[in-house]
Amino acid sequence: MAIERNYYTIDPEGKLQCLKCRVPLVKGKAKFMYLDNGFPVELPVCPVCGFVYVPEELALGKVLSVEKALEDK
Amino acid sequence: MSQIQERGSTHVYKVNRISKEEMDGMVARCVYEEPAFCNAACPLKLDTRAMLKAAAAGDFKKALQIYEKAAPFPLILSAGCEAPCENKCRLCERGDGIAIRAVEAAVSRYGQASRLGGVFRTKKKKTVAVLGSGLFPLFLAGELEKKAYPTTVYCEQEDLERFLRSAAGFLDGEAFQLELKRLKGKDLAFVFDCEIDEAFLSARRDDSDVLCASEEVARRLFPETAFDPALMICEAERLVTGFGEGVMNAAFGAKKAALTVDRLAQNLDPRNMRGSEGAIESRLYTDLTEADELRRIAPAGEAYTAEEAAREAKRCIQCHCEECMKSCAYLKHYKKYPGLLSKEIYNNTQIIMGDHQLNKPMNACTLCGQCTVVCPNGFDMAHVCAVARRNMVSTDKMPLAPHEFALMDMLFSNGEAFMSRLQPGYEKCRYVFFPGCQASAIAPETVKAAYLDLCERLEGGVALMLGCCGAICDWAGRYEMQESTREFLLTELSKLGDPVIIAGCPSCRKELAESVGGEIVGIWDVLEEIGLPEGAHGLDRPAALHDSCGARGDAHTQQAIRSLAAKLGVTLVETEYSGDRSPCCGYGGLTAYANPEVASEITARALERSDAPYISYCMACRDRFARQGRESRHILELVYGTDAGAPPDISEKRYNRLSLKKELLWELWQEETADMKLDYELNYTEEARRLMDGRMILTDDVIAVLNDYRETGEAILDSDSGLMIARKRLGNATFWVKFTESGEDAYTVHGAYSHRMNVVRREG
């Protein structure tokens, strides 16, 4: 089974809020998918509507480097 | 919005758009790896260039190590060698060639001998016997020692000194003593006082694996037998031997003989696998224009001192062909000569599973063709990269990410922003003006002025077509899109009655000539014929003319532009690399999208040629130079007295195209187009605009995200920054917008980012 990776921690907890549901985001299960590959990850998720948040530093850091690695496969 | 299908990664196709043979033929054009002329002339394959480089740096130890690879007894060789290298030195064409032999003698004298033959080397199992004395047995023993064969020399002399004297009696006292010391240091066994006759030879045949003899011994014992001078062997007797006179002959003979011994010791045919032997012709190209030290350093005494030898070695221009790398910032960036880079790029296209590590270099070439002009053999890196890109697209291995923005921009140009109309009042037009997508994006006022001028001064009607010529998908290697663009343009042109195309950009002209064909002229040709419009004037200070890569090999266009500049009263300053040798501005080949870092280096290189303002005749060039802060004008701006001003960002480029279309449709054809107005207020911080331009995020993308937010209310609030963050998946990427809300209908965007990976909630 693939290892779940957590690249982001909500600090302090509760600092991110879902505007639609008016509840704090919590650590939740999500999946990145790209070019027929899937990666289970843990990301801030709204416990009510399921909005998955990808923070900027993650998108431009780890996510971008994995994208580039997959693109050249 | 149209979308381009992202590739899958599970299927496997094998496509070869270029055969291995064709590739090898192309690679062979690159002479970077050819030996220097001195090196090629040396039968011993001495890397003279490297030796001189080390000597020039005063590193005589390293120089001697290089020399010893060719000559196990360097002082003997430098004293007696005929030095065929010296005549081949390219400096002879301008003055005195390098005194290579004299430098070698100094290197042999002042360098520190290598200690290769130490006890720690693993010796080979097969043993070799060398019979007789003289130069050939001495050199052969030296070569065999290098190859780590346990070698025994059997000679008539009673000691080592006499053995050496029989070979190199011509050496002076000090040199002789040095070589004697060197010989003593070698891992060789000697048996003195031998009487070499048939019985002796036959005994050696029994106790050693390979038998070698001097010419004297071989001829004395086997006077009737034939010898093969190529292999240095008397095959009938299985005896390796040497021939000929002179130091060089003996040294070269010893090299060939040592190789024969090697093959015989392994029970292999000595004829095979010998590689290249002896002197060869080099195909290297050397630029002599910068050679300035043309006179030999004269030694104060009889021979060079170490310091004199270093000075003489420093005169060596280190023949290398780097013509393309001198001029091309892309090749300079990757620090690889085109022969090697092409091989690697070709191999990159052949990888089915695994990393395609050359994708980036393959997509960083501007396909401008400058290398082909500056290369003495016409190496065509652009062809290699273009074919490789198409090959990667064919096998579905080409990532979409580097080119998607540009391709989407092309679809925008030929979709939403496209327009094609006959001149008002005409049912058929003799001409159609095709300014090109970049002109409409960067200088819409200039396009409008040019069109109005053409309408007024040309007879027969001038239609207008705003769109992309297809260069974008051609550069991206997307041949299927290229074909559909061609069909689209053909249909649109046919609707206009297939008029003569007046291209506003040399790259469009080139692309259209190759795709839709028909009669195509440049607007510069038309202006040459009808003259300048009123009010046209040049710059009041000298300017540098940057030739577009689309006009490479097109002397007619280059000349027409110069003539226009002269009529405008522009004083042009001469620049290095102009005309056919002009570098790319960094936009070509989609480098600016696929590899902004290399593109910036290419632009900087193009700007290095002059400090003057730049005049170009391709709008992309104008934009690249202006973006780097240089005063940059398109020649049509001077012709029409317009000023496109500061370079627009990527969103403004789209806006400009749409606005131009809307404005012209209304003013000339009285057609109204839907308003682009938003029903809410949207502002951007300066930082947000800057980030968006760098990250290739359009205002349209931001609007799509905010529209979605207004509809669904989905967003998060980051209490740290107080910013709201909403997202939307658009095509192959997810866009995130950071914003604040003031009231219900006003937003300020503070930042935006995107990622291509799709993210979903996972259950369980």
State the architecture of B681-755 in CATH terms: 2-Layer Sandwich (3.30)
Test B357 with A29 for CB contact under 8 angstroms: no
Residue A49's pLDDT band (cuts 50, 70, 90): very high
In this predicted structure, what is the pLDDT of residue B9? 73
Q: Phi/psi class of residue B240: alpha, beta or left (left: φ > 0; alpha: ψ in -120 to 50)?
A: beta
Residue A47 sits in a domain whose CATH number is 3.10.20
Q: Collect the ranges in chain B with pLDDT lower than 50.
A: none
Facing residue for B716 by CB, picked from A18, A31, A67 = A18
Cβ-based contacts of B734 with chain A (< 8 Å): 54
Handedness of CA B506, B419, B646, B535 (dihedral sign): positive
Decide if B398 contacts B591 (C-beta within 8 A). no
> Which pLDDT belongs to residue B164?
96
Q: Which residue of B has its CA nearest to A12?
A: B720
In a mutational test of the B interface, the residue from A7, A11, A49, A56 whose CB has the highest number of chain B CBs within 10 Å is: A56
Domains: count for chain A = 1
Q: What is the pLDDT of residue B11?
A: 73
| Nearest residue to B179 (alpha-carbon basis) of B127, B108, B116 | B108
Residue A8 in contact with partner chain B when CB distance is under 8 A: no
Judged by a CB distance cut-off of 8 A, whether residue B335 touches chain A is: no
Rounded-to-10 torsion of CA A65, A66, A70, B1 = -80
The shortest CB-CB distance from A32 to any of B727, B736, B757 is to: B757
Tell me the sheet residues that pair with B633.
B615
Q: Which residue of A has its CA nearest to B5?
A: A35
∠ CA B9-B14-B16, rounded to 5°: 130
Angstrom distances, CA of residue B664 to CA of B449, B530, B673: 11, 24, 11
- List chain B domain ranges: 20-32+322-399, 128-265, 402-662, 681-755
CA–CA separation, B452 and A7 (whole Å): 58
Chain A: residue nearest B759 by CA? A32
Q: Where are the alpha helices (DSSP H) in B223-368?
A: 247-265, 306-314, 323-327, 329-334, 338-350, 359-364
A54 and B759 within 8 Å at the Cβ level: the answer is yes
The answer to whether A36 faces chain B, any CB pair under 8 Å, is: yes
Distance separating alpha carbons of residues B648 and B439, to the nearest angstrom: 12
Domain of A14 in residue numbering reads as 5-71
Q: Looking at the complex, report in whole angstroms how far the Cα of residue A15 sits from the nearest Cα belonging to chain B.
A: 5
- d(CA A67, nearest CA chain B) in Å: 7
CB B10 within 8 A of CB A37: no
> How many helices (H) and strands (E) are present in chain A, helices listed first?
2, 5
Task: Give me the residue from A16, A31, A37 closest to B760, CB to CB.
Answer: A31
- B128-265 in CATH: which number? 3.50.50.60
SS (H, E, C) B703-731: HHHHHHHHHHCCCEEECCCCEEEEEEEEC
First to last CA, chain B: 35
**C-beta separation of B465 from B434 below 8 A:** yes
Q: Is A3 on the interface with B (CB under 8 A)?
A: no
Q: Is the CB of B762 inside 8 Å of chain A's CB atoms? A: yes
Structure confidence at residue A1 as a pLDDT band (50, 70, 90): very low
Cβ atoms of residues B454 and B462 within 8 Å: yes
Chain B partners of A61 at a C-beta cutoff of 8 Å?
Answer: none
Q: What is the pLDDT of residues B423-447, one digit of tens each?
A: 999 999 999 999 999 999 999 999 9
Between A17, A37, A71, which is nearest B717 by CB? A17
Q: Is A10 on the interface with B (CB under 8 A)?
A: no
Q: How far apart are CA B29 and CA B446, in angstroms?
A: 44
A9-13 contact pairs (CB < 8 A, 24+):
A10/A44
Read out DSSP for B256-280?
Answer: HHHHHHHHHHTT--TTSS----S--
